[in-house]
Amino acid sequence: MSHETVYAIASGKGGVGKTTTTVNLGTALSEAGERVAIVDADLGMANLAGFVSLTPDSTTLHDVLAGDASIDDATYRLADNIVAVPSGTNLDEYAETSPEGLREVIEKLRSQFDYVFLDVGAGISHETVLPLGLADAVVLVSTPEPAAVHDTKKTIELTDRSGGEVAGLVLTRTRPDGDVSHDEIADRLEVPLLGAIPEDPAARDSVYAGTPLVVFEPQGPAAVAYRRLATELTGIEIPVPEGSDESDETESKATATGSASDDGREAAHDDVSSAITEAESDP
């Protein structure tokens, strides 16, 4: 292959921001015109369900892995240039899935999309480890907290053992002061630091809105950091979405690392969130 296009987004500890990272990296690249698929490879949890409205009958990755559906049937358009492959919520279906089928799913998506992001479950189960070796590279997600950083070591080890490649570390929910130096954390893990995403209340708000953060509040500190991360990872420059320039503050916010204020919060997400709502049921 010419360059890396399939990334596993992984962590040792749960709740550190993997799904947020998957959704926002993917959306940022789609805004630059790249065709993107995000895949809920965390099979036991419905991570992407908030972005795709599923009925109990909807086809999901569970059906594909159980051999009952094709990947196209489990692919849902989120917005221009981006689709999601959600996993189901039904535990009975889940019991019938065979993670091995994931290899085929990934290769199919690789041939159809410019980038594929796999939202991988935390921990050390087989279904978690498998994607680490199937992806071209693994993006490690951790908060700066010692327990999370410690568990990241395990994910690095698992990646090595499954023949995978670590792209680097993304620190999430960072704070302006009080964190150990981000470079030092990456140095200790002996992996490159890809980026740091500041703590930002818009992250949670965007989940309730069912809209990716980079669309929900494009000028907020976390959204800015996610666009920067996408560029760091792929080399692709991400345009700042139009309609979000609530006059004067735009550029200065974009250069700050985590110090942006709370104003302009309700900027311009309506268009896209309604676009997503319209697209939700479009298989």
Q: Which is nearer to ligand ADP, 105 or 203 (CB)?
A: 203
For the CB of residue 259, give the shortest distance to Mg ion in the complex, in Å: 27
For the CB of residue 16, give the shortest distance to Mg ion in the complex, in Å: 9
For the CB of residue 45, give the shortest distance to ligand ADP in the complex, in Å: 8
Q: Which is nearer to ligand ADP, 263 or 278 (CB)?
A: 263
Can you tell me which of 5, 20, 30, 159 binds ligand ADP, judged by CB under 6 A?
Answer: 20
Q: CA triplet 186, 188, 193: central angle to 5 degrees?
A: 10
Fill in the amino acid letter for 165.
E
Can you tell me which of 6, 12, 18, 218 binds ligand ADP, judged by CB under 6 A?
Answer: 18
The reply to whether 228 sits near ligand ADP by the rule CB under 6 A is: no
What is the rounded CA–CA span in Å between residue 13 and residue 154?
10
For the CB of residue 216, give the shortest distance to ligand ADP in the complex, in Å: 11
Q: Which is nearer to ligand ADP, 14 or 192 (CB)?
A: 14
Q: Identify the CA nearest to 71 among candidates 81, 57, 56, 86.
A: 86
What is the rounded CA–CA span in Å between residue 253 and residue 255?
5
What is the rounded CA–CA span in Å between residue 144 and residue 132?
22
Q: Identify the CA nearest to 167 among candidates 159, 177, 175.
A: 159
Q: Which long-range contacts (C-beta less than 8 Å, at least 24 apart) are formed by 212-215?
A: 212/23, 212/24, 212/26, 212/27, 212/51, 213/20, 213/23, 213/24, 214/24, 214/27, 214/28, 214/31, 214/241, 215/27, 215/79, 215/241, 215/269, 215/272, 215/273
Only segment of 180-188, 200-208, 241-249, 266-274 that touches ligand ADP (CB under 6 A): 200-208
For the CB of residue 205, give the shortest distance to ligand ADP in the complex, in Å: 8
The reply to whether 28 sits near ligand ADP by the rule CB under 6 A is: no
Residue showing tokens 């907020």 = 220
Only segment of 14-22, 66-74, 153-161, 179-187 that touches ligand ADP (CB under 6 A): 14-22
* 103 contact choice in Mg ion, ligand ADP, none (CB below 5 to 8 Å, kind-dependent): none
The reply to whether 39 sits near ligand ADP by the rule CB under 6 A is: no
For the CB of residue 261, give the shortest distance to Mg ion in the complex, in Å: 28
* 249 contact choice in Mg ion, ligand ADP, none (CB below 5 to 8 Å, kind-dependent): none
Q: Which residues of 1-23 are buried (b: 16+ CB within 10 A; e: fewer)?
A: eeeebbbbbbbbbeebbbbbbbb
Helix (H) or strand (E) holding 117: strand 115-119
The C-alpha R_g of the chain, in whole angstroms, comes to 18
x-or-dash string of contact with ligand ADP, 153-192, rule CB under 6 A? -------------------xx-------------------
Site of interaction with ligand ADP (CB under 6 A):
11, 14-20, 47, 172-173, 197, 199-200, 203-204, 207, 222
